[in-house]
Structure formats: C-alpha cells, structure tokens
Amino acid sequence: MDSDGVTDSPRRGPTLSTSTSSFEALDPHDPNLSRLANSLFSKTSEYLYGELTSTLDDYKLLENMNRATITKYSDMKHIAVNVSKSMGELNEKYDTLIPLLQQIDQIEDSVIKLEQAAYKLDAYSKRLETKFKNLEKR
C-alpha cells in the first residue's frame, strides 16, 4: 500500500477505492447483465415518469373540476340573487295591490247583493203584474 492511501488493483493498477467489494468500476462485465441493468433502469425511469405524469394529470383534472364548480356556483349565486330581487319586487307590487283587491271584493259583495235585490224585485213585480191582471179581469 502507498503512503498516500492509493492501493493497487490486481488487474488495473492503482485505484482510489477503499471498498472491500470485489467489483471494480473498470472491470469488464457480462454484456447481457449490462443490457438487462440498462433495460431495468430505463423501464424504472419510464414507470416513475408515468406515475408522476398521471399524478400531475389527476391534479390538473381536479383543478379544472374546481374551476368548473366555482363557475357553476357563481352562476347559481347570481340566479339566486336575481330570483330574490324579483320576489322582493313582486311582494312590493302585491302589497300595493292589496287595497285594490279589497275594493274588488267589496264591489263583488255589492254586486251579489244588487243581483239578489234585482231577483227579488223581479219576482215582486211579476206578482204585482199577476195581481193587476187578476184585478183587471174582474
């Protein structure tokens, strides 16, 4: 071992590795193992990218749904405010019509009484007419 902490590799010469592993970075590897490892890392990367993308898409969908809901509730609020305003106006108009409606009710009662009096008068005039005709015949 050298005094500066560098050890000699049996195959490649001096290295800076202090690991007790038999794996050396520059050792030739099985090409099939390297290809499989690359494939594993590539597919793991694709999987993680897909997971993150789908999560991002879920959040975008939720954001769009929230925006649509906010818009819908805002529209419903405006409709409710307009309905409330219209109901207030209708109630005010009805309140102004109440005296007129009461007058109409009074006129209707008077007309009914007049109609009853007219029927009574008609019946009375018919009785008088028959009495008068009976008196004329005598």
Over residues 94-108, the pLDDT tens digits come to 999 999 999 999 999
> Which has the minimum average pLDDT: 5-19, 45-59, 65-79, 108-122?
5-19
The confidence band for 114, taking pLDDT boundaries of 50, 70 and 90, is very high
What Cα–Cα distance (Å) separates residue 62 from each residue in 14, 17, 57, 74, 134?
Answer: 58, 50, 9, 18, 100
Per-residue pLDDT, 87: 97
Q: How far apart are CA 98 and CA 104, in angstroms?
A: 10
Helix-strand-coil percent breakdown of the chain, rounded to 5?
Answer: 80, 5, 20
pTM of the model: 0.47
Average pLDDT, the chain: 85
Strand spans (E) along 2-115: 7-9, 13-15
Residue 88 has pLDDT above 50, yes or no: yes
Average pLDDT over residues 111-120: 97
